């Protein structure tokens, strides 16, 4: 029997509302909360909440950096990687590792510097 249920994945960032807005454009859902803590309630009955917490001293992870931790990353499944790439870049993401077009994943950083991957469905 499980001891607990996962309530949310929380990202530290300098501007929770702005980063929640970025992910709302990417994943859909509704943004709720005050300026220090924002929840992104995902659509389609997805039980997970992605939350954003104000961290004024936030230092983005380095990727790739064998001597530093990337802390964590999100894998986002998409149907059309080229179309999704165009959209996330227009929303403010930065390409980190997209050179190998034959792979089924590409790496980006969100506007606060957290790495995430677009992965083929």
Residue by residue, pLDDT tens for the chain (121 residues) are 775 677 789 999 999 999 999 999 999 999 999 889 999 998 887 778 899 999 989 888 887 777 776 677 888 999 999 999 999 999 999 999 888 888 899 999 999 999 999 999 8
Beta bridge partners of 105: 119
Is residue 31 situated within a structural domain? yes
Asked if residues 29 and 37 have their Cβ atoms less than 8 Å apart, the reply is: no
20 located within any domain: yes
pLDDT at residue 22 in the model: 97
- 15 contacts 34 by C-beta, under 8 angstroms: no
Residues 64 and 117 in one domain: yes
Full strand arrangement of the beta sheet holding 30-33: 8-13, 49-54, 37-41, 30-33
Q: Which two tokens stand for residue 32?
A: 């709720």
pTM of the predicted structure, to 2 decimals: 0.84
Could you give the CA distance from residue 111 to residue 108 in angstroms, rounded to a whole number? Answer: 10
What is the extent of the structural domain holding 53?
7-57
């Amino acid at each position: 029997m499980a001891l607990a249920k996962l309530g949310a994945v929380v990202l530290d960032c300098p501007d929770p509302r702005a980063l929640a807005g970025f992910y709302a454009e990417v994943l859909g859902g509704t943004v709720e909360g005050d300026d220090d803590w924002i929840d992104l309630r995902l659509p389609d009955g997805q039980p997970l909440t992605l939350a954003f917490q104000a961290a004024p001293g936030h230092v983005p992870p380095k990727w790739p950096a064998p001597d530093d931790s990337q802390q964590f990353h999100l894998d986002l499944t998409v149907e059309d990687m080229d179309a999704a790439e165009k959209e996330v870049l227009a929303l403010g993401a930065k390409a980190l590792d997209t050179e190998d077009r034959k792979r089924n994943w590409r790496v980006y950083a969100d506007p606060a510097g957290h790495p995430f991957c677009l992965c083929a469905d």
